[in-house]
Structure 1
Amino acid sequence: MVIDEQWDPKPKKGIPDMPIKEIPPIFVNILRSIGILFIILIIFSVMFGSIFVSVGAGEAGVKFNQFGGVEEEELGEGLHIVPPWVSVTKYSVRSETYTMSEAQNEGQITGDDQIKALTVEGLTLGLDITVRYRLIPDDVSNVHQKLGANYAEKIIRPTIRSSIREVVATKTALQVYGEERQLVAGEMLMSIDNALGNDGIVVEEVLVRNVVLPTKVAEAIEAKLQADQDAQRMIFVKQKEQLEAERKIIEANGIANSTIAKAHGEAEALGIINEQLAKNPNLINYKYIEMLQGQEIQTMLVPTDQGIILDASS
């Protein structure tokens, strides 16, 4: 069989001839190093845990280094890569609430957890309190190191109870129970916030949801509040009646002024008439005759000193 060495197969369409170049050794070494590093990371992840940490919305992560303890820099929201020897504890930095109430299963503690506090008169009040607070994101590491994950029971609960009692001790029962309740709640907020500020906790609101008084005191306060309301109502009625009396006085003065003005007008008009009569005495006869015109009369009499008698029958 004879092979024609001059035969050249027809090249395929669309595939140009490209020379094959060898990969430089430096790139081969880089790829090999990346592969080895990736394998090492996988081995460490399997042995010590994942190196990828996801911090959710409204959270902050605290890093604990096995060789150095708690690190100051917190992890923000998102995905992070941390060394295998670093563990991350996540804390919520959203607004949280702590409730102490008499009602069952309403607060963090099951059963009656109402705060009992003495007023300035020595009366014992029961208070249902809800405190809204949040952690400062940049201080979460300090909270983790000093207090731990159970910080609410360790610091927030006793601070609330102590501050509430201190504030109530300077107030009367009526101030805590009555219209000044919001002002008292504001003082409680300031007291609790000052106490927790150094621990990386911000207090946003204090709600005094219910105040329980001794029965006799409650009845006395209710009676006083009712008396105050009645007094306010009487003041309102008195003011209303006074305004009505003033209105009538003004109205009477207006009528009197109108009458006086009318009298002055009539007097002035009479003065003008008298003045004209003095100038022309016959004017009164003329007005008298003018008034009688159109009336059914047979005879009209006029003063005899005028010497005039009119026969109205014609």
Structure 2
Amino acid sequence: MGRLVLGFILLVVSLVVLTTAAGLEKGGGAGGRLAKLVGRLLLAVAAVTLLTSSVVVIDAGQVGVQHAFGAVSPTPLYPGVRVVPPWASVERYSTREESWPAGGEEVERMAALSSEQMGMSVDVAVRWQIDPASAPRIFTELGTQDQIETVVLNAIRNGVRDGMVRFSINDIAERNRIASAMQAEVDSALVTQPRAGGEPFRIAQLTAFFLRDLQPPEQVVRAINNKIAQEQQIQTEKHRVEVARLQSDQQRLLNQTLTPEALTKQYLEVLHDMKGSDNLVIFVPTEGGMPMLNLGELRKALRGGAQ
């Protein structure tokens, strides 16, 4: 529309200049030829401006919506060179897959409530995309690209909260189920009902949903950590009791096994094995203890007595 107005202004100016140039030439003025040249140049620029005001270029990854004087064309303008009425304006939308949060943006941690009304901190990432065929309805109902992004962001926040409230604080480990519920709620929130009536239409299509982090309240985290520490302490005590029981069983078994009869039998077996050995010391069991019998000294004493 701006180029059309500019073209008409240039056209009027060029006609004025040409009229002035014609008058100067009739009067024999020296500037007639120069004014005529300037007028023709302005006329050419005006013609080019008016012609190009009817041609728009829609880039790849975009879709255009033609509108003028409150009327919106129901036919979207797809990528390429398109001819439109010179008085029409074209609103462009991105048809590429958009990400939220975008690269470089600060991560938004959303507050959501569990089914027990306990505050949770949620961090999600979403990819979405508009349907080019829905661009005229999107323009009529929502507006520009920035307004679409605002609506999508509100749908994400609403869907995350509605999905989280389905689950208890005890379900926090079931991340896949929670993410699926949130994704379904966000996808549902992206369908809107036109203000003027008619069939609902989809603002954007959710292409991916990622539940990146889910944190319970701080007091719940402390309670969970305390419970884990208590369970570990209980397991440690159980292990100690089990070790003590095994040691007690071993000692009892040892006491039951080492009877006087068993010790005497073992002593006799040792004496039997010592017949062919060079051992010079023998333990002799008595009621008063376990004296040692030194065979080497005994032999020397016996030899001395014999002499």
Write out per-residue CA displacement over residues 32-69 of structure 1, whole angstroms, 9 at most, x where no aligned residue.
Answer: xxxxxxxx997465259632211111111111134x61
- Count how many residue pairs are aligned between Structure 1 and Structure 2: 181
Give distance in 1, aligned partners of 2:154 and 2:63: 25
Assess, with a 3 A threshold, how the Cα gap between structure 1 residues 165 and 225 changes in structure 2: closer, same or farther: farther
Contact 1:61 1:90 (C-alpha < 8 Å) held by counterparts = yes
Contact 1:130 1:208 (C-alpha < 8 Å) held by counterparts = yes
Give distance in 2, aligned partners of 1:184 and 1:123: 15
Counterpart position of 1:34:
none
Q: Which residue of 166, 186, 191 maps to 2:180?
A: 186
Counterpart position of 2:108:
113
The yes-or-no answer on 1:161 pairing with 2:163 is no
The yes-or-no answer on 1:144 pairing with 2:139 is yes
Give distance in 1, aligned partners of 2:67 and 2:221: 54
Counterpart position of 1:56:
59
Q: Which residue of 65, 86, 96 maps to 1:84?
A: 86
Q: What secondary structure, in the 3-state scheme, does the structure 1 residue paired with 2:143 have?
A: coil
* Residues 155-164 or 134-143, more deviating: 155-164
Deviation of 1:121 (Å): 2.0
Q: Which residue of 123, 126, 136 maps to 1:128?
A: 123
Assess, with a 3 A threshold, how the Cα gap between structure 1 residues 184 and 48 changes in structure 2: closer, same or farther: farther
Contact 1:48 1:85 (C-alpha < 8 Å) held by counterparts = no
Q: What secondary structure, in the 3-state scheme, does the structure 2 residue paired with 1:185 have?
A: helix
Deviation of 1:125 (Å): 0.7
Assess, with a 3 A threshold, how the Cα gap between structure 1 residues 174 and 85 changes in structure 2: closer, same or farther: same
Q: What secondary structure, in the 3-state scheme, does the structure 2 residue paired with 1:170 have?
A: coil
Counterpart position of 1:97:
99
Code of the aligned partner of 2:49: V
Assess, with a 3 A threshold, how the Cα gap between structure 1 residues 181 and 44 changes in structure 2: closer, same or farther: farther
Structure 1: runs of 5+ lacking an equivalent: 1-39, 232-314
Task: For 1:7-18, list aligned pairs within 5 A.
Answer: none
Q: What secondary structure, in the 3-state scheme, does the structure 1 residue paired with 2:190 have?
A: helix
Write out per-residue CA displacement over residues 63-113 of structure 1, whole angstroms, 9 at most, x where no aligned residue.
Answer: 1134x611010011111122211221111111112239xxxx954xx6x73
Runs of 4+ aligned residues of structure 1 deviating over 3 Å after TM superposition are: 40-45, 219-228
Code of the aligned partner of 2:153: R
Give distance in 1, aligned partners of 2:51 and 2:228: 68
TM-score, structure 2 normalization: 0.51
Q: What secondary structure, in the 3-state scheme, does the structure 2 residue paired with 1:76 have?
A: coil
Assess, with a 3 A threshold, how the Cα gap between structure 1 residues 47 and 123 changes in structure 2: closer, same or farther: same
Contact 1:174 1:221 (C-alpha < 8 Å) held by counterparts = no
Code of the aligned partner of 2:77: L
Assess, with a 3 A threshold, how the Cα gap between structure 1 residues 55 and 219 changes in structure 2: closer, same or farther: same
Contact 2:63 2:77 (C-alpha < 8 Å) held by counterparts = yes
TM-score, structure 1 normalization: 0.50
Task: For 1:255-270, list aligned pairs within 5 A.
Answer: none
Give distance in 1, aligned partners of 2:228 and 2:128: 34
Code of the aligned partner of 1:184: I
Give distance in 2, aligned partners of 1:137 and 1:172: 39
Contact 2:95 2:132 (C-alpha < 8 Å) held by counterparts = yes
Q: Which has the larger radius of gyration?
A: 1
More helix by share: 2
Q: What secondary structure, in the 3-state scheme, does the structure 2 residue paired with 1:117 have?
A: strand
Give distance in 2, aligned partners of 1:196 and 1:155: 8
Assess, with a 3 A threshold, how the Cα gap between structure 1 residues 123 and 106 changes in structure 2: closer, same or farther: farther
RMSD over aligned CA atoms reads 3.3
Write out per-residue CA displacement over residues 219-242 of structure 1, whole angstroms, 9 at most, x where no aligned residue.
Answer: 4446778979xx9xxxxxxxxxxx
Contact 1:131 1:205 (C-alpha < 8 Å) held by counterparts = yes
Q: Which residue of 67, 72, 75 maps to 2:74?
A: 72
The yes-or-no answer on 1:217 pairing with 2:220 is yes
